[in-house]
Structure 1
Amino acid sequence: MTYSIALNFEDGITRFIDCKVGEKVLDAAFRQRINLPMDCSDGVCGTCKCRCETGAYDLGDDYIEDALSEDEAQERQILTCQMVPSSDCVIAVPVSSSACKTGTAQFAATVSNITRHADAALEVSFELDQAPVFLPGQYVNIGVPGSGQTRSYSFSNRPGEKLTSFLIKHVPGGLMSGWLEHAQPGDAVPMTGPLGSFYLREVTRPLLFLAGGTGLAPFLSMLQVLAERKETRQVTLIYGVTRDQDLVMVEALQAFAVQLPNFTFVTCVADPQTLHSQQGYVTQHMAESALNDGDVDVYLCGPPPMVDAVRQHFKNQGVTPASFHYEKFTPNAIVAACSTGDAA
């Protein structure tokens, strides 16, 4: 038996290692050629201090307080030279992946299927040579054949599947959009990843998901994982788009509402001329009950103006979520990911 340990480096790169029962994380990482920061390896210096964001573990009592104080341990900071996992874990490593002599994993992928949603988006699936391991919400860089360039897209499927999918915005004249217009099943593309600090943390309170356009993709991945776990806490999704035709994959959300009895979703369209029943922006359709007086974990994926508007809305309402994880994106790239508050 082994545990899967996700090491999230500060440059956004994630590497997964297997940790044997009773094995310390530092030893497991070295065994798999990842040089986590260390000096003494005896719980004395504190050089290997990281933060365990999810999962169960034991630190023993062989380290000194100068290396890890009681307050730090209460905040789930750990010493990798002492940490022995007792479940799968996610660990935030406060250095770059290159400093640990590692980097992104590479995958060989071929186009499997392309579903076009009018002129709004494309649902693209790829067959991979190996099932990628990632955290629900993360993304990969996909190489555009013949261009020497990459584009960043969030997984919309659950982790561990060899057939992986993405929801890609159709951009007239766009590099990836242009290639996909002529792509055929079997066409090969390179992928590197997983990447990003926007991912589903351990669920300890109600969840509020806010999606803008194709920012729906990472939530589809998260919802699949939550459905698989039979999550019982309240999960609310508000999905906003610009035009009526941008509202895609609603059928998938309806299916999740059946699988997850405590999952509800609202869709809205910003266009004043919309025929949709809910006009406006996500901030106009955010019920007080979904905010749960601030005792809620908020996840937001959308364009920069949407992220800024939601942050201002929380400020105006005097609400500070227990944690707030967001990712900004443009049609060509992931711009930034950020987490605030208690991420446990």
Structure 2
Amino acid sequence: MTTYRIALNFEDGVTRIIDCDEDEKVTEAAFRQRINIPMDCRDGVCGTCKCHAEKGEYELEFYLDEAMTEDEAAEGYVLTCQMMPRSDCVVSVPASSAVCKTGAEKVGAEVIAVERLSETSFGLQLKLDKPIPFLAGQYVNIDVPGSGRHRSYSFSSAPGATEASFLIRNLPGGLMSGWLSNTAQPGARVEVTGPMGAFYLRPVTRPQLWLAGGTGMAPFLSMLEQVAAEGTDQPITLYYAVTRAADLVEMDRVMALADRIGTVNVITILAAEEDAHDRKGFVTDHLSDSDLNGGDVDVYLCGPPPMVEAVRQHLSHAGVTPASFHYEKFNPTEAPAEAAA
């Protein structure tokens, strides 16, 4: 019997990924794994379990029009009590994880390596006690040992592996930065909680415009890993904007993944006046009409708040509304400040 992976994205940002057999309804599989998707009838009559399927193939058994209209079904809405998967799926649940009696999973991990990639960034590699299923682009909370506090970072590694990697901004006086600089050693133990976040790669069905600022490159590395594994014939334009040339970290890996995919154009931009480079300034100085493709483009943006706001204003002034626009801001405390889709 075939078993599929169903990612349940709750409205509070928590994601839980469950196994669902091909002859099993999604609500039944969720309940078996101690997750209570809201429902009343189980018969396709009440509409209480209505969710939105963002990705994947599935079949719907009987349901009444009063529970879900044909137009809603055409837009990808499903009644999970009647949904039987025919592939891995991503389903948005219009309820919090707490309401569904679940939450983000906490997993122990061991530090494999801490690498000083530049004056402004670290690379952190962890060996997880067990894999954390996540969607490429999502983040986790990593506890800072001895502090009772955590910081949030996007995976830069491919989904599903027991080894996870992260790009971490080096903030002077920062809690995590201090630990990585002065204390962290291979073998140290941390706890990781997640996955979370609405910033993740959707099906690649049209041209892509990916905009990374600084360590905001992390989720795009994970996305590149996924696209390299799955393949695509769609063009992907990846802008990587940093302050100085030394901040262009992980470029060998970026270019290797771009070569594997074959449709990726990588464009780097420096802001610092003193560094020589082909492109200087900010992302918005270099975005072209062809990048926006008349709006027939999926835009993904991850970077500091000023960059996110500048891009949003640029799109507004250009009079272009992308087919989809997904962004995530990172504030100075190293935690995601906002994610939107």
TM-score of Structure 1 vs Structure 2, range by shorter chain: over 0.9
The number of aligned residues is 338
| 1:49-68 map, 5 Å | 49-60=50-61, 62-68=62-68
2:99 counterpart SS class: helix
Q: Measure how far apart 1:248 and its partner are.
A: 1.3
Whole-angstrom CA distance in 2 between matches of 1:96 and 1:57: 24
1:22 counterpart SS class: coil
Which amino acid is the alignment partner of residue 148 of structure 1? G
- Is the counterpart of residue 127 in structure 1 residue 127 in structure 2? yes
Query: Over aligned residue pairs, what C-alpha RMSD do you find?
Result: 0.9
Instruction: Indicate the residue corresponding to 2:335 in structure 1.
Output: 333
Q: Measure how far apart 1:301 and its partner are.
A: 0.4
Whole-angstrom CA distance in 2 between matches of 1:154 and 1:301: 10
User: What is the TM-score of this pair, normalised by structure 2?
Assistant: 0.97
Which amino acid is the alignment partner of residue 138 of structure 1? Q
Instruction: Indicate the residue corresponding to 1:342 in structure 2.
Output: none
Whole-angstrom CA distance in 2 between matches of 1:274 and 1:75: 49
State whether residues 224 and 258 of structure 2, in contact with CA within 8 Å, keep that contact through their aligned partners in structure 1: no
Q: Measure how far apart 1:206 and its partner are.
A: 0.9
Instruction: Indicate the residue corresponding to 1:180 in structure 2.
Output: 180
2:116 counterpart SS class: strand
Which amino acid is the alignment partner of residue 98 of structure 2? S
Whole-angstrom CA distance in 2 between matches of 1:275 and 1:147: 41
Whole-angstrom CA distance in 1 between matches of 2:261 and 2:3: 29
Long gaps (5+) in structure 1: 340-344
Q: Measure how far apart 1:173 and its partner are.
A: 1.1
2:113 counterpart SS class: strand
Whole-angstrom CA distance in 2 between matches of 1:69 and 1:58: 16
Long gaps (5+) in structure 2: none
- Is the counterpart of residue 242 in structure 1 residue 243 in structure 2? yes
| 1:142-157 map, 5 Å | 142-157=142-157
Give the share of equivalent positions with the same residue, in percent.
57
State whether residues 141 and 194 of structure 2, in contact with CA within 8 Å, keep that contact through their aligned partners in structure 1: yes
State whether residues 299 and 322 of structure 2, in contact with CA within 8 Å, keep that contact through their aligned partners in structure 1: yes
State whether residues 238 and 286 of structure 1, in contact with CA within 8 Å, keep that contact through their aligned partners in structure 2: no
Instruction: Indicate the residue corresponding to 1:84 in structure 2.
Output: 84
- Is the counterpart of residue 115 in structure 1 residue 119 in structure 2? no
Instruction: Indicate the residue corresponding to 1:159 in structure 2.
Output: 159
| 1:1-344 map, 5 Å | 1-60=2-61, 62-181=62-181, 182-331=183-332, 332-339=334-341
2:92 counterpart SS class: strand
1:268 counterpart SS class: strand
Which amino acid is the alignment partner of residue 156 of structure 1? S
Whole-angstrom CA distance in 2 between matches of 1:292 and 1:256: 24
Which amino acid is the alignment partner of residue 150 of structure 1? H
Q: Measure how far apart 1:289 and its partner are.
A: 1.8
Deviation readout 1:177-233 (Å, 9 max, x if unpaired): 100112110000000000001000111111110001000000000001101112221
Whole-angstrom CA distance in 2 between matches of 1:333 and 1:325: 17
State whether residues 110 and 190 of structure 2, in contact with CA within 8 Å, keep that contact through their aligned partners in structure 1: yes
Whole-angstrom CA distance in 2 between matches of 1:142 and 1:91: 25
1:227 counterpart SS class: helix
Moved over 4 A (4+): none
